[in-house]
């Protein structure tokens, strides 16, 4: 019964995703992308990438959140152009920025492995930006999340600067107004904001990222009162005041390696790990969206796919702009 139900659900989602790709046309002036971009030049692209992502995911489930987060961090800073993948000898590339220091190495490794495999069959054809977009879709799908056709045709950046990152990415302590301002700069709606936050249904966070909510919330109370009391005590057991910098806990305490809607159910119960998570429920503007997703996983999946398609169009270079890197960690020149 489970297998049949998931198959039917995926069929509905696949149809919805196809509709979204077909109807959510790029705005005037935006470069055109297409899921069929490599149909002739690299026909086995998606199966090559999927195989590498599957291998990596079977080695460590950290692959799932690490790859998804890497994609988001790349696209939100100057567009989806693989600038976040560049390794600089001077430690001055995007990945060296303080906001990117917490990006797990497994995300980079996933993309680099996929690129090596693709180059063996289609040398000099597929951009690292497109491979990153495909790996992000694949980790979601392999974690029992939705599937969608990824728009392709991006080129890789010729620049990667740590100084470009500041102020472009969400912070764990942000509230809805601050988050909305950040997303609106990228023409992403409030629905997109709440749907993309659902990516926190997988992955983990270091204790230092939310310790202030447990021990130093404000002058009147040490612990954020929006926390579920039982959950807060569990977190305190895992994240004691003197805990080491490497200690981490799951973002979703219920199903941390499954891409589902329990993130939103957790928010309703006061089990959001970051301030930026829990405020989505406590803020009256976003609360109805959270409640909708908590009650309807398919609605969350459809909106998440729509938001991911929008993110994938941010600041892309096409045609003769940029380059097709030979390796994802270095410019060709």
What's the full length of the chain, in residues?
A: 333
Q: Can 222 be counted among the known catalytic residues? A: no
CA atoms within 13 A on the CB side of 135: 36
Catalytic residue among 73, 175, 200, 333: 73
Distances (CA, A) of 22 to 25, 31, 164, 172: 7, 15, 33, 34
Q: Which residue in 256, 100, 240, 95 sits closest to 170, CA to CA?
A: 100
Question: CA 33 to CA 14: how far, in whole Å?
Answer: 19
Q: Which residue in 66, 58, 130, 61 sits closest to 312, CA to CA?
A: 130
Q: What is the DSSP string of 229-280?
A: HHHHHHHHHHS-TT--TT-EEESSSS-TTS-SSHHHHHHHTT--SSHHHHHH
Question: CA 263 to CA 253: how far, in whole Å?
Answer: 9
Q: How many CB atoms lie within 10 A of CB 60?
A: 13
**Contacts for 173 with CB less than 8 Å, ≥ 6 apart:** 212, 274, 275, 276
Q: Among all residues, which ones are annotated catalytic?
A: 73
């Amino acid at each position: 019964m489970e297998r049949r139900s998931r198959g039917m659900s995926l069929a509905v989602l696949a149809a919805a995703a196809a509709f979204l790709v077909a109807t959510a046309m790029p705005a005037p002036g935006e470069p055109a992308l297409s899921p069929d971009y490599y149909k002739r030049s690299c026909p086995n692209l998606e199966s090559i990438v999927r195989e590498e992502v599957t291998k990596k995911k079977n080695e460590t489930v950290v692959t799932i959140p690490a790859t998804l987060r890497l994609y988001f961090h790349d696209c939100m800073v100057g567009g989806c152009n693989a600038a976040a993948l560049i390794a600089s000898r001077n430690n001055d590339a995007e990945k060296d920025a303080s906001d990117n220091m917490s990006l797990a190495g497994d995300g980079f490794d996933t993309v680099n492995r996929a690129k090596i495999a693709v180059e063996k069959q289609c040398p000099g054809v597929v951009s690292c930006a497109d491979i990153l977009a495909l790996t992000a879709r694949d980790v979601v799908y392999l974690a029992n999340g939705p599937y969608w056709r990824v728009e392709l045709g991006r080129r890789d950046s010729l620049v990667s600067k740590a100084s470009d990152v500041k102020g472009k990415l969400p912070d764990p302590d942000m509230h809805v107004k601050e988050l909305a301002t950040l997303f609106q700069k990228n023409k992403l709606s409030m629905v997109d904001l709440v749907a993309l936050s659902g990516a926190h249904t997988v992955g983990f966070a270091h204790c230092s990222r939310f310790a202030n909510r447990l021990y130093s919330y404000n002058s009147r109370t040490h612990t954020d009162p929006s926390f579920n009391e039982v959950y807060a005590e569990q977190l305190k057991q895992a994240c004691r005041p003197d805990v080491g910098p490497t200690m981490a806990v799951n973002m979703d305490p219920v199903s941390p390696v499954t891409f589902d809607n329990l993130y939103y159910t957790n928010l309703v119960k006061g089990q959001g790990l970051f301030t930026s998570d829990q405020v989505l429920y406590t803020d009256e503007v976003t609360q109805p969206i959270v409640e909708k997703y908590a009650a309807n996983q398919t609605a969350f999946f459809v909106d998440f796919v729509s938001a991911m398609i929008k993110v994938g169009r941010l600041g892309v270079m096409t045609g003769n702009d940029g380059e097709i890197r030979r390796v994802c960690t270095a410019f060709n020149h």
